[in-house]
Amino acid sequence: MDILTLEASAMSYPVNSSSIIEKRYKDAKESYARLGVDSDKALKLLAKISISMHCWQGDDVGGFEVKDSKLSGGIMATGGFPGKPRSADELRSDIEKAFSLIPGKHRLNLHAIYLETNGKFVDRDAISVKQFSRWLDWAKERGIKLDFNPTFFSHPKAASGYTLSSQDPAVRSFWVEHGKRCREIAADFAKKLNDISVLNFWIPDGAKDFPADRWSPRSRVMESLDRIFEGKANPKVKEAVEGKLFGIGSEEYVVGSHEFYFAYALTRKKLACLDMGHYHPTETIHDKLSAVLSFMPEALIHVSRPIRWDSDHVVICNDDLINLARELVRGDALDRVFLAPDFFDASINRIGAWVIGMRSLQRALVFALLEPVKQLKALEKEGRGAELLALSEECKELPHGAVWDYFCLRSGVPNGASWLNELRSYEKNVLMKR
């Protein structure tokens, strides 16, 4: 190891005292008050926002199926950082560590492949809540609510690139049964945890090159989904469908396109899921929110960070994320959306990735909640464009960091970069010993 490496490994990240944080917050509160913004009210709103943290960042979308299935279906995790959990117990331990470093009370988003079967193979058309009983017990004990996702990828019956749209009736029936089973599991989550459970459907179906028939697969998906959703919907289960522009192996044609799923969601009274990485590389979703929510009461948002494609990079507090938060706040839509990160990076500490992404989304919400929205809208209404632009720029320099640190202090989690001390300790004492 060279000198720089030695210095980095010995580094301890500073912890600001509560008195310093409280003083900075008092000054920040006065700064915002001069613009008509109540920072105390903003923090109360922030504390109510429960984000659904995704379990699959913790183990590179591996899951715990007994029968090994190679990751496929347009899903790709890169990197090999040490300490990957080898069991659901180890994954739950990592999740708990991540939650301890994130302010607020949050949910957990599970995929169907994270079942526990005591060493027995249970195929996806036969799963039930029984295989998630330990997740339920764990969630009850810790007061965590659970969301759910069917897993239509990484399976021999998805190898053709088609699942619910397959030409083979037996393949379609297999996946329809999987969808029905997942619907039942989400209903059990909602009942046993006494809360809603968001159930999101994404399928990898599509073609690498120009298909001769674009119509039939979409007709089959519609019929398959209608079979899955037969019967009265559980009002506590929020059922969503997720579109995509393209994926690995479906570059030319995606059966479940955005237009298809928006229409399906609207006519079948489901939620549309908007994933930040599922659009054209130059396209962002913040402008779509006012369009979608003009026709639908609620929406699911998968918070991701694409780099040139749906690369699922760890979410950071960039312009895309801030603009998303702004639109939710300016449109008074925070209670009409369900926020769920969707990224996976195996090249860095996986717990660190969770914490960075979750805290970044919260920081973007802090920024948006502290904007003088009434004043900005008034300036626009009066046609005072220069003042509107100038005030928007000035808001970037306001002390929102001091408000964020105060929120962390009040929530009992490390402020600033000091959470990295705990991450490093967990990495040394837990991850590196696996």
Active site residue 302: yes
202 annotated active-site: yes
Which run of H or of E encompasses 232? none
Structure tokens at 278: 């599922």
Q: Is the dihedral of CA 92, 95, 97, 100 positive or negative?
A: negative
How far is the C-alpha of 181 from the C-alpha of 173, rounded, in Å? 12
Candidate list 94, 312, 371, 427, residue with the active-site label: 312
278: annotated active-site residue: yes
Question: Which listed residue (65, 242, 320, 345) is catalytic?
Answer: 242
| H-helix or E-strand spanning residue 337 | strand 337-341
Q: Give the separation between CA 203 and CA 201, rounded to whole angstroms.
A: 7
Q: Where are any strands of DSSP class E within 55-139?
A: 107-111
Dihedral Cα 255, 260, 266, 269, nearest 10 deg:
-10
Which one of 310, 320, 327, 405 is the catalytic residue? 310
Catalytic residue among 342, 345, 371, 405: 342
Q: Is 319 a known active-site residue? A: no
- 312 is a catalytic site residue: yes
Q: Which residue out of 178, 302, 345, 419 is catalytically annotated?
A: 302
CA atoms within 13 A on the CB side of 395: 23
As a whole number of angstroms, the distance between CA 324 and CA 396 comes to: 16
- Give the span between the Cα atoms of 325 and 404, in whole angstroms: 15
Q: Measured between alpha carbons, how far is 42 from 368 in angstroms, rounded to an integer?
A: 9
Instruction: Say which of 54, 106, 157, 278 is annotated catalytic.
Output: 278
- The token pair at 25 is 């917050």
Question: By the 8 A CB rule, do 365 and 331 touch?
Answer: no
Catalytic residue among 59, 147, 205, 275: 275
Residue 111 falls in the annotated catalytic set: no
Beta strand segments in 115-201, E: 146-149, 197-201
Amino acid at 332: D
Candidates 244, 258, 286, 288; catalytic one: 244
Instruction: Verify whether residue 188 is a known catalytic residue.
Output: no
DSSP string, 8-64: HHH-------HHHHHHHHHHHHHHHHTTT--HHHHHHHHHT---EEEGGGGTTS---
Q: Which whole-number Å values give the CA distances from 284 to 29, 208, 299, 300, 359, in the listed order?
A: 32, 24, 16, 15, 21
Q: 275 an active-site residue?
A: yes
**Exactly one of 56, 202, 354, 404 is catalytic; which is it?**
202
User: CA-to-CA distance for 333 and 297, rounded, in angstroms?
Assistant: 10
Beta carbons within 10 angstroms of residue 297's beta carbon: 8
Catalogue the active-site residues.
202, 242, 244, 275, 278, 302, 310, 312, 342
